[in-house]
Structure 1
Amino acid sequence: MTRRRPARLAALTLTAAAALTLSACGGDDSNSDGKDKIAGADTGDKASASPTPNESTAEGAPEITFPSDAKNVFEGEKTGDAQKDAVLAANTLSVNAVDEAIFKGSTDTKALGFYNADKALSSSITYVQGYIDSNDTWIGVTRYFDRKVTLKGDGKAYVTYCSDESKSYIKNKKSGKVDKSAASADSYVLYNTALTKNAAGVWQTTDIASKRGDEACQP
């Protein structure tokens, strides 16, 4: 099977609905041209692998490290708008922080609580703990695409995006066994996130919801 268990943090539906509504009604919707794109998604030709040490310029920002056999790739890193680009960078760091916690087998990593807060942090801890309890990790490449930022002012923003997990797989740490079952519609996940800039100027993901197999993310 592909690496993710049930759609990540799917219980947080209220903020997800708000974010999805905003992305559907925002002023940038004309950029969407097919069912495999979220309406208004800022896309780009360049993709960046994860992680890049000290990607955040915030004081005290922790370094995020991945093992050599796992990688996240994020498309559409640059929109031309400095504020949106900062939010997208924070989205990248939030995702990478969760995966780093999985790789380290710990819910107490510095990055996890630095880039995630409130409901998103508590749900991320639960999610990571599921890997720990099963003695699992993941390997391969996960691609994140069709990312769209909606700025709300007062240090708040929403990001919607898709993930492609068709080339990343669950690996049991004890046995070393890798499950490489064929990819399916459930290999693609739609995410809706809320971010808030804290007092230190760090954009933190504060709420998140997801829907596995969503039509908007299918190839």
Structure 2
Amino acid sequence: MRTRTTTAAALLTTATLFLSACGGSSDGSSDKDVIEGADTSTTPSASPTPTAPADGIDRPRVKLPAGDIMVFDPETTGDSRTNAVLRDNAEYLRAIDEAIDDQNPKSEALSFYSKDASYLASVEWVGGFVKDGNTVTGTVRYFDRKVAFSKDGSAGLTYCADESKGFTKDIKTGKVDVTPVSKNSYVFYNERLRKNKAGVWQTTMSSSERGSEVCQP
């Protein structure tokens, strides 16, 4: 099983993501303060980023690792603004997996689709994979993706992740760490996004609850 989550220390500093087997807790972080240097995810697919939207934004090309499949449900809705949030968040999640496989914590796509606490946390989390010599494989399904817009212009995004078929893999040996399915294979995420001057919805903070009853099958 593989996961994104935040440590309790993130409540006092910035959000810090770490690897977890089947453990985890519900933690949070804030995007109220701008962090210096940090301003700089229903069809399975392991192919490069889908055709870029006609919004005039020059987006980085994101390519998932071989054998890595990310499913997003829903991918789109009947609202163009909501679709933009869902698209850019999906690309952020894809960028994380790409950075893990490339063993590059400071990839262009990560800084393109995230900032502040989420960017710094993602860099550290990907760094954990680099240190352990691991990448990701299998299928992770992100479902019940719901967007709500705030008066300050930001967007709140909640969704569930089914990691029951997503695993870590040793890069050198190719051995996959297959973990048993349990209630902790399902994670609830609550994220905040803000639209930058270029028109990209960047993820700025994320909190999670592993084993959440909301996401159980």
- Partner residue of 2:170 out of 169, 172, 185: 172
Structure 1 residues 150 and 206, CA gap change in structure 2 (3 angstroms): same
Alignment partner of 1:8 out of 5, 24, 36: 5
Which structure 2 residues correspond to residues 124-143 of structure 1 after superposition, within 5 A?
124-143=122-141
**Residues in 2 aligned to 1:53 and 1:77: alpha-carbon distance in whole angstroms:** 12
> Structure 1-normalised TM-score?
0.79
Residue 171 of structure 1: how far off its partner (Å) = 0.6
Query: TM-score, normalization: structure 2?
Result: 0.80
- Paired residue secondary structure (1:90): helix
Mapping 1:14-33, distance limit 5 Å: 14-15=29-30
User: Structure 1: how far apart are the matches of 2:157 and 2:80?
Assistant: 15
Aligned to 2:57, the other structure's residue is in SS state coil
Equivalent residue pairs, number: 187
Root mean square deviation of aligned Cα: 1.9
1:111 paired with 2:109, answer yes
Q: Give the unaligned 5+ runs of structure 1.
A: 17-45
Match of 2:49 in 1: 52
Alpha-carbon distance in 1 for matches of 2:123, 2:144: 26
SS at 2:176's partner residue? Answer: coil
**Shift of residue 214 of structure 1?**
1.1
Q: Percent identity?
A: 42
Residue 98 (structure 1) aligned with residue 99 (structure 2): no
Which AA in structure 2 matches 1:65? K
Residue 86 (str. 1) matches residue 84 (str. 2): yes
Paired residue for 1:28? none
Going from structure 1 to structure 2, the CA distance change for 1:55 and 1:190 (only over 3 Å counts) comes to farther
Which blocks of at least 5 consecutive residues in structure 2 are unaligned?
16-27, 32-41
Query: One-letter code of the match for 1:216?
Result: V
Say whether the 8 Å CA contact 1:120–1:206 is kept in structure 2: yes
Contact 1:53–1:63 (CA under 8 A) maintained in structure 2: no
Q: Distance in 2 between matches of 1:202 and 1:58?
A: 11
Residue aligned with 2:105, SS = coil
Cα deviation 1:7-60 (Å, max 9, x = unaligned): 5235451559xxxxxxxxxxxxxxxxxxxxxxxxxxxxx445355345454532
1:191 is the counterpart of 2:189: yes
Q: Give the helix-richer structure, 1 or 2.
A: 1
Q: CA offsets, 1:116-172, max 9 Å, x none? A: 001100011111111111000111111000111001144310100010011111111
The structure-2 alpha-carbon separation of the partners of 1:175 and 1:111, relative to structure 1 and needing over 3 Å to count, comes to same
- Which of 1 and 2 has higher RCO (CA within 8 Å, sep 6+)? 1
